[in-house]
Amino acid sequence: GVGIMASMAHTEADGDLLALDASHLFKSSMTQIAFKHGTFLRNYMYDFITYFSPHLTKTQVEKAVKLRDNSAVQKLFSDIQLEQR
């Protein structure tokens, strides 16, 4: 069979899969995690966020939650270099 998946989802552990670069067919994009302001974040939610983005610790997320607007959140994370795959 054939499947199309993001390059970030393909790792060395997938040695039994053949990956062909098709980046010329698609625009690059960024995956985002969002939640409604005021949502009570349970520990498993923090765990998921950190698993997905190791630079986003529970402390970092708690700081971001306390901010009132997106520009302040972006400023908080402005020094972080994101990995691109």
Contact 49, 64 (CB under 8 A): no
Contact 64, 55 (CB under 8 A): no
Contact 58, 46 (CB under 8 A): yes
Per-residue pLDDT of the chain (85 residues), as tens digits, is 888 888 778 788 888 888 888 889 888 877 788 889 889 999 999 999 998 888 899 999 999 999 988 899 999 989 988 776 5
Separation between Cα atoms, residue 58 and residue 49, nearest integer Å: 8
The gap from C-alpha 40 to its chain's centroid, in whole angstroms, comes to: 20
Residue 58: other Cβ atoms inside 10 A: 14
Helix, strand and coil percent figures for the chain, each rounded to 5: 40, 0, 60
For residue 13, the model assigns a pLDDT of 87
